[in-house]
Every structure is written in structure tokens, then in C-alpha cells.
Amino acid sequence: DAGVTQSPTHLIKTRGQQVTLRCSPKSGHDTVSWYQQALGQGPQFIFQYYEEEERQRGNFPDRFSGHQFPNYSSELNVNALLLGDSALYLCASSKYPGGNSPLHFGNGTRLTVT
């Protein structure tokens, strides 16, 4: 039973560029959330997708956008990269959108912006 998978594992980009991160949820899960974790801090909620729609959003600018596909996989896009976007980006999946089931995380994508 595959868990949450993310790609790529590491990425180096230059300021101003755009990046796309990918996530496949755990088998049987239909809800995908994205979190940003800066060094030494706890993860921060970016947004959540269910039934191919953004259901909730955290306090992140419009440069951060996402998509969910019919097979429940998801992408996170970040435009006009800033140095401050350097972080570990974590994808998490769950079975219901209502917060009634535990969240399972992937191993993350470490993004470095130079």
C-alpha cells in the first residue's frame, strides 16, 4: 500500500522563476493538502484540494496556486519565486475533507531559491 509520494525530492531555482511540485495521495485518500515548512519551524498550511477544487486556503499570496486531477493527485505551483520561498514543501492526504481522519504526509520536496 503506497503512502503519499512527492516529486522531485530536491529542487534548486533562481529568483523570479516558476516551479511545479507534484504529489500522489495515499491509496484510498481523496483529499490533498499542501504545507510549507521553513527551517526550524512547524509546517504552515497553504491550501487543500477535494473533488478538484480548492476548499481551504491559508495565509499565502496568489503566487501559490494548485490543482487536483481526477485521480486525486495534485500539483503545487509557485510563480515569481522569492528567496523566502526556500523551504520544505509537504503534501498530505486524508480520506475525508471534514477533518475526521488522520493526515498522512509525504517525504517532502526541498526547494532552494538562489
The binding site for other proteins (CB under 8 A) comprises 31, 33, 35, 41-45, 48, 50, 55-56, 58, 88, 90, 92, 94, 97-105, 107-108, 110
Rank residues 17 and 41 by Cβ distance to other proteins and give the closer one.
Answer: 41
Cell of 18: 516558476
**Min dist. Cβ of residue 88 to other proteins (A):** 6
Distance of alpha carbon 31 from alpha carbon 10, whole angstroms: 24
**Min dist. Cβ of residue 66 to other proteins (A):** 14
Q: Which residues contact residue 100 at a Cβ distance below 8 angstroms, ignoring those fewer than 6 apart?
A: none
DSSP sequence for 83-100: GGG-EEEEEEEES-TTS-
**Min dist. Cβ of residue 80 to other proteins (A):** 25
Rank residues 84 and 99 by Cβ distance to other proteins and give the closer one.
Answer: 99
Rank residues 81 and 90 by Cβ distance to other proteins and give the closer one.
Answer: 90
| Cβ(30)–Cβ(9) below 8 Å | no
Rank residues 43 and 66 by Cβ distance to other proteins and give the closer one.
Answer: 43
For residue 89, which of 25, 18, 9 has the smallest C-alpha distance? 9
